[in-house]
């Protein structure tokens, strides 16, 4: 197993911010799968969804993830839907220690409300969409992750400290 720390979780659970803080704290390079997709396609995510559809986006997401399999010592932050395919879940586990960041639907709604960059929530019932997707995805986040952290009540400092300590314990058991 590779010693990357992989962050999975629903939109708005803090993966990007926590990824950035962890990379500073541990001096690990940060990789964000959404950013790699945008770079590869030369278009922002809403435009990819609109022009090519979600299925095409998911194919690129899998290709990007597969390309990361040789990475070592990185923080890898992922898009919320990456856990949808079995192949992706296998790649995520191969990549390293997988942390599931979760939050309540209310908190997610609040955190995503002002951002129009998420095509799946750009409709007239974002709350219903969040609840419905969470119901489908939570078992998959659970299945793929080594550790679950509820971000509702914790500050970034506490979350980063928990991840750092549990990851170093986890990696020490790998040798
Ligand atoms: C998605 C989450 C987004 C992005 C895309 C699809 C999803 O990433 O990959 O809009 O299906 O949950 P974030 O979780 O970083 O917002």
What is the rounded (10 degree) CA torsion for 6, 73, 39, 37?
-30
Distance between CA 175 and CA 171 in Å, rounded?
7
- Whole-prediction pTM value? 0.97
6: CA distance to ligand 1 center in Å? 15
> Percent of the chain scored above 90 by pLDDT?
94
Judge whether 18 and 110 are in contact, CB under 8 Å: no
Distance between CA 57 and CA 41 in Å, rounded?
10
- 135 phi and psi, to 5 degrees? -60, -40
Would you tell me how many other CB atoms lie within 10 Å of the CB of residue 74? 21
| Predicted confidence band of residue 140 (pLDDT cuts 50, 70, 90) | very high
| Predicted confidence band of residue 116 (pLDDT cuts 50, 70, 90) | confident
69: CA distance to ligand 1 center in Å? 20
Output the pLDDT for position 91: 98
Residue list, ligand 1 pocket, CB within 6 Å: 11, 15, 34, 45, 79-81, 118-120
Distance between CA 22 and CA 74 in Å, rounded?
10
Give the chain's largest Cα–Cα span. 50
Nearest CA, atom 16, ligand 1 = 11
Q: Which two tokens stand for residue 102?
A: 């979760």
Q: 115 or 57: which carries more pLDDT confidence?
A: 57
Output the pLDDT for position 100: 98
Nearest CA, atom 11, ligand 1 = 81
| Predicted confidence band of residue 2 (pLDDT cuts 50, 70, 90) | low
- 10 Å CB burial of residue 137 (0-12, 13-18, 19+) is middle
161: CA distance to ligand 1 center in Å? 25
Q: Closest ligand 1 atom, CA of 54?
A: 6
| Predicted confidence band of residue 175 (pLDDT cuts 50, 70, 90) | low
List pLDDT tens digits, range 20-76. Answer: 999 999 999 999 999 999 999 999 999 999 999 999 999 999 999 999 999 999 999
Q: What DSSP string runs through 83-101?
A: GGSHHHHHHHHHHEEEEEE
Nearest CA, atom 15, ligand 1 = 79
157: CA distance to ligand 1 center in Å? 24
Output the pLDDT for position 1: 53
The pLDDT of 111-125, averaged and rounded, is 92
Distance between CA 53 and CA 161 in Å, rounded?
38
117: CA distance to ligand 1 center in Å? 9
């Amino acid at each position: 197993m590779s010693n990357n720390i992989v962050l999975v979780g629903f939109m708005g659970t803090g993966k990007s911010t926590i990824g950035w803080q962890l990379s500073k704290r541990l001096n690990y390079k940060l990789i964000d799968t959404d950013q790699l997709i945008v770079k590869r396609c030369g278009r922002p995510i809403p435009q990819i969804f609109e022009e090519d559809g979600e299925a095409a986006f998911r194919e690129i997401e899998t290709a990007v993830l597969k390309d990361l399999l040789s990475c070592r010592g990185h923080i890898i932050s992922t898009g919320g839907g990456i856990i949808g395919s079995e192949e992706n879940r296998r790649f995520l586990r191969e990549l390293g220690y997988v942390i599931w960041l979760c939050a309540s639907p209310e908190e997610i709604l609040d955190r995503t409300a002002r951002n129009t960059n998420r095509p799946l929530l750009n409709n007239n019932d974002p709350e219903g969409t969040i609840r419905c997707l969470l119901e489908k995805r939570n078992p998959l986040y659970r299945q793929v992750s080594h550790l679950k952290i509820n971000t509702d009540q914790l500050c970034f400092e506490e979350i980063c400290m928990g991840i750092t300590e549990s990851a170093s314990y986890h990696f020490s058991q790998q040798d």
